[in-house]
Amino acid sequence: MLIIPAVDIIDGNVVRLVQGRFEQKTYSRDPIKTAKHWARQGAKLIHVVDLDGAISGTAKNIELIKKMAKGLDVPIQVGGGIRSIPAIKEFLDAGVKRVILGTKAAEDQDFLKKAFTTFKNRVIVSTDVASGKLAIKGWKVSLARIDLNAFLKSIKTIGMKEIIFTDTSKDGTLKGPNIKDLKKLLKSTGLKIISSGGISSLEDIYKLKMLEKNGLSGVIIGKALYEGKFTLKEALKLS
């Protein structure tokens, strides 16, 4: 099970939000330095989100992320406002290992099919869920018209084998992950899942580790690391 530290960016700063609300807390003014810190601590993959891009619909921190991809000894996966085939290609050509698709993937199945056909497993869908409904556009809009289970089934039909799952009500709250829904999704979809949101303790990681046999492939951790609830090295020992 991969332990994946998160680097979320607004205005060039590393921040953490609570439930996607933009009353953020800033932890660093140097995302590259922060990512290098997690790499030195043993991270095998770093999760980078351009939150400016997620809201605006167009990636805003492209040059910063390109520098990060070239300057790190570990791979990064990147999301936030990446909503076209050329945009995906630009990030991948810059050295990003994998591009995360959210809003556009949920809204346009033809686009998702084309993206997967073109780039295969170098793209992954982030399934962000609010009250059982897909949340898009920086979690500001709920796609109530799209059934979550049907969407996940369509992802699998396309040929994708892994997704990122975030319960937006848990993200940044330090109140623990949504184990119940994770178990249901792992069983009903047969997809591998990277869990994101709510991690508060090493015990939470241990509980998620128990789901590895069911298909849980990774855990994205943000606020708990930045708040010093535990170290990345301690978390990696449980993985």
Out of 50, 128, 167, 204, pick the active-site residue: 128
Out of 8, 50, 167, 171, pick the active-site residue: 8
Respond yes or no: is residue 52 known to be catalytic: no
Find out whether 80 and 59 touch, Cβ atoms under 8 Å.
yes
Find out whether 131 and 155 touch, Cβ atoms under 8 Å.
no
Buried b / exposed e over 194-207, threshold 16 CB at 10 Å, is bbbbbbbebebbee
Respond yes or no: is residue 8 known to be catalytic: yes
CA 207 to chain centre: 19
What's the CA gap between 29 and 97, in Å, rounded? 24
Alpha helices by DSSP H, 29-147: 31-40, 51-56, 62-71, 85-93, 103-107, 109-119
Q: Distances from the Cα of 19 to the Cαs of 50, 79, 128, in angstroms?
A: 16, 17, 11
Task: Show which residues are catalytic.
Answer: 8, 128
